[in-house]
Amino acid sequence: NPSRVMALHHAGGGLRQQAPARASRPPIRSAGAPAGPRPKCSLAAPPARLAERRQRPRGRAVPGALGARELGHVLAINSSVFLVGYKALSSGLSSVGIAHAWFLGTVCLAAFQVQGYVLVCAYFVFGTLATKVGKKVKIAEGTYERNEGKRTPASVWGSGFAAAACALAALAFHGDGALCTILRTGFVASFATKLSDTVASEIGKAYGRTTILITSLKPVPRGTDGAVSLEGTFAGLAASAVYSALAWRLGQVDPTGAAVCVCAAFVATNLESLLGATLQRDYARVLNNDVVNIIMISAGAAVAMGIKLALGS
């Protein structure tokens, strides 16, 4: 009977009969599994992936194509900014210019995220303010911007052509991190170049005491194509330095990249002055200010990307 006591006691002896112990089974393991305690189940991301997230620089394009959802977010953010800031935008842009600027902002936001988009907005704000400096003096001397200082579509692309090209290339080659870093440097350098040129020109026209032609070093009236002044040159250099420092703080470039952008801006703005004093005079119909600006910002972006590539950082 299974319920009967297994141990029997006899007189004179303590003979005990016990049931045999059940043999323990070894733990079942899959083929090739290492010996040792079974790992605990966890929903946390692997350490390698967490480390990758921590090391990912701010503002860098995440590898992968821009999906419909991401594109919708980009369009919503950019359109909201333009609707809220329409009054400010209309003070510095014509109606058609605003539409072109909207496209430029969309492309830059899609490629370089919010940090890059902030740089586009910062250029517009600083450039517009520089245009308004010394307005009365410029009007009296006939050097104030045409169209009451409002930028036309040609002016928009004279400022943002190189940046848009870098943004489109970054979207096309989103999987190449090294190339995107170089393109992002060109993006920052193009706007740093244009802001430097705008500030140098506007400060020079308003406060330049001695304005000389860059080719002959002879004094010429303020506002002359190809003319430079000490006040404008230093103001433009300071503007590119501040802008590049902002780009560094926003994670778009590293300190070396910021310095490269300042140097590239200085080279490109002097190239613009050289073109203004030579070829632009003879071919004014073809080389108008907007075309020369496109050449200048493209040169600034190319010089910055070339230096960055040569440094290998």
Please give the average per-residue pLDDT across 169-196, as a whole number: 95
The pLDDT, as a whole number, for residue 36 is: 53
Q: Is 60 helix (H, G, I), strand (E, B) or coil?
A: coil
Q: In a 10 Å sphere around its CB, with 0-12 CB exposed, 13-18 middle and 19+ buried, how is residue 37 labelled?
A: exposed
At residue 213, φ and ψ (nearest 5 deg) are -80, 135
pLDDT of residue 133: 86
Dihedral over alpha carbons 93, 94, 96, 100 (to 10 degrees): -10
What span, in angstroms and rounded, lies between the C-alpha atoms of 229 and 118?
30
Q: What is the mean pLDDT of residues 221-225?
A: 86
* CB distance 266 to 302 below 8 Å: no
Mean local confidence (pLDDT), 263-267:
97
Query: pLDDT for 269-288, tens place per residue?
Result: 999 999 999 998 888 888 89
- Rounded Cα gap, residues 303 and 146, in angstroms: 30
Report the C-alpha dihedral over residues 183, 186, 192, 195, rounded to 10 degrees. -100
What is the structure's pLDDT at 67?
75
Cα–Cα distance, 301 to 49 (Å, whole number): 34
pLDDT tens string 85-113: 898 888 778 889 999 999 999 999 999 99
What local confidence, expressed as pLDDT, does residue 256 receive? 95
Distance CA 254, CA 275 (A): 31
pLDDT digits (tens, 9 = 90+) for 24-81: 555 555 554 455 555 444 444 455 554 554 444 444 444 345 677 888 899 999 999 9
The residues, any chain, with a CB within 8 Å of residue 205's CB and separated by 6 or more, are 134, 137, 138, 141, 143, 222, 223, 232
pTM: 0.77
Model confidence at 147, pLDDT cuts 50, 70, 90, reads low
Six-digit token string for 288: 């108008």
Pairwise CA distance, residues 302 & 294, whole Å: 12
pLDDT band at 265, cuts 50/70/90? very high
- Count CA atoms closer than 13 A to 307's CA, side-chain side: 19
What mean pLDDT comes out for the span 9-36? 50
C-alpha angle 13-15-17 in degrees, rounded to nearest 5: 170
